[in-house]
Amino acid sequence: MIFAMKKIFTTALVMMLPLLMMAQGWPTKYDGVMLQGFYWDSFNESRWPKLEAQADELAEFFKLVWIPQSGNCGGTSMGYDDLYWFTNYNSSFGSESQLRSLINTYKSKGIGTIADVVVNHRKTINDWVTFPVEVYKGVTYKMLSTDICRNDDGGATLTWANSNGKSLSANNDTGEDWGGMRDLDHKSQNVQNIVKAYVKMLIDDLGYAGFRYDMTKGYSASYTGMYNAYSGTEFSVGEYWDGNQTAVKNWIDGTKVDGVVQSAAFDFPFRYVIRDAANNSRWTNLGTSTNKGLCQENNYKRYAVTFVENHDTQYRDANNQQDPIRTNIEAANAYLLSMPGTPCIFLKHWIDYKESIKQMIYARQLAGITNTSTSYNLANSQGSNYYVQRTMGDRGALLAAMGSVAYQIPATFVVVASGTNYRLALSKSTETAWASKPSGEYDDTFTVTLTAVSQTDGAQLVYTLDGSTPTASKGTKVTDGSSITITGNCTLKVGLLINGAVSGIITRNYVVDNKPFEPYEITVFLMDPTVAPNNWTQVNYFSWDNTSSPNGGWPGETITQTKVVHGVKFYYDTYMVNSKDYYINFVFNQGGASASSHQTEDVTYVNKTSFFEVTTQTNKYQVQDVTDQYLPYLDDDKPGDVNGDGEINIADINALIDLILAGDASDTGDVNGDGEINIADINAVIDIILTQ
């Protein structure tokens, strides 16, 4: 009997394993904060190397970073005209090797990278219905014209297909139509197989931690559920762009597989409430709206990824104003970070309000707020225009007082962060130290005020500046509210000192750069494209920075200066970097009437001496960064080493003869420095050889 029961139990457990291993949309009691690591046209700020360089700083505040769609789109792109899914990851944000390095570095720091997954639609090549054929790990992935929804583009695709002997799917779209690219028929077994392989590759090969699904209104929620269940991803959030709370909840429920939710959703209802409150400075609206956000519903806050701005709602320019929060941006983020759900911070806000947002995240962390924490309205006053929300964390409570300062913060709380129309206060039961400055880089000496958040009256603080742990006998003891001056790089650790015991220790890492920026010169080299296989007739640099075009209007300046580095001839020009954030962009071209047909892709965000090579031509010439191959040899040139091989011998005489016959004015060939290349330079090389 016991054996039979054991067998039944074991069989049941085995049958449950697929369900137990299945993705569940988003973890419960998740305490992480996410960063949207891009904004519209953030081709500089979101470059893979630039995002990777910030890993140490980001790891202190974010557990997830959502980056742009990382596949090649056939040109400069934010990634929403997705083209290659498996074989080409050289995108507008960097190369595949840089992408892999970014993901691996983030993973080593405890940050998960969220992929932007665009599977509602896909870009085609050559005509309306031809997709790229990709071979990945020996398997060929090929979408067909019959994988396109029959009613795509309002019927325009079908009209084209009928006129060109092509067939579309027999199925109409399972969601909203979008005419920008071809809408994929997710009822197609071929589409399902390819998408499954794609998302699995993102996790298993590239190393992504999870997905952000684009435009999920474009296809049935059940397919998001299908793809997540197959990939086993822990993190998934869908962009179901709708301010109606019921509609977003229905989408979340629609992702269920075997009764288990497979994806979280962006909390658009929450976003619209905070937008209206911030833009109109009507803070009581936070409590009166019928759509307060999924983050305030017990059964859905686990699946609420809250935000106040993204790349679609942000202000872009005067002609593309979108739907931004125009004022009270800090206050909007303060409310966001005090609420349940998983907050997603917008990169532009992080850049512009970094110090304030860091303090807000610290307050959230210290209170121990998670995506399933309990939150409720504590007070509001339409007459005084304030709204107060209290959220209970695992270690304390965080109070967000929005609007007027007329509201009196309770004596059981301590204000730790404040600004225009917001105050964040931690409950004294949190029992922690607090510092008025977050970790980060500072341009000059600054002061930090230390605060005791404690129920013990008169609690002292003890701190160290060398990274060691303060104790009752080690460190400097100060009273609540004391300030210390930070003059250089240090690691501040400060804790509460109560009855001879130290607790509630916090750590802040400060970097102080007292040196003013000094402008420097860079040189941009282009490997000679006038020889085979490119055979350009001349070399032009067209360049631009954020304010001007240093080489003049299109097609730019004709470059004649050349230099041989490590035996290879390069054209070059020099530029001044006058600020820490300066960068310059290039299109190398042939100039003259052929400039438009003989031009490279954009080479962007150059702020150091670099070497480039023109490679293959598709629509535009591709460019490879070969700096690592040639920069080490830049200063190795010797007078007389015309061919750049590190030696001076008969080969240099032959190289000089070639230059003279070609009429080349290479700097390296001007051995005697008279500004010309002629027989005198050959004699100078002979003299060097004879005296070696």
pLDDT at 656: 76
DSSP assignment of 246-273: HHHHHHHHHT-BTTB--BEEE-HHHHHH
Residue 366 parent element (H or E): helix 354-367
Give 145-193 pLDDT, tens digit per residue: 999 999 999 999 999 999 999 999 999 999 999 888 999 999 999 999 9
pLDDT at 637: 62
User: Nearest-5° angle of CA 512, CA 514, CA 515?
Assistant: 130
Half-sphere CA count of 5, side-chain side, radius 13 A: 2
Distance CA 654, CA 642 (A): 9
Give 595-611 pLDDT, tens digit per residue: 888 999 888 889 999 99
pLDDT at 638: 65
pLDDT at 604: 83
pLDDT at 675: 67
CA distances from 115 to 37, 207, 217, 226 (A): 11, 10, 18, 17
Report, as ranges of residue numbers, the positions in the chain whose pLDDT lies below 70: 1-22, 636-639, 644-646, 664-668, 671-675, 691-692
Residue 613 parent element (H or E): strand 610-617
Residues 264, 311: contact at Cβ < 8 Å? no
Give 532-573 pLDDT, tens digit per residue: 999 999 999 999 998 899 999 999 999 999 998 888 899 999
Tokens 């008169």 found at: 458
User: Nearest-5° angle of CA 485, CA 487, CA 489?
Assistant: 120
pLDDT at 692: 62
Residue 612 parent element (H or E): strand 610-617
Distance CA 651, CA 644 (A): 10
pLDDT at 531: 92
CA 636 to chain centre: 38
pLDDT at 13: 42
Give 628-638 pLDDT, tens digit per residue: 899 988 876 66
Domains and CATH numbers, the chain: 432-512 (2.60.40.10), 520-631 (2.60.40), 637-691 (1.10.1330)
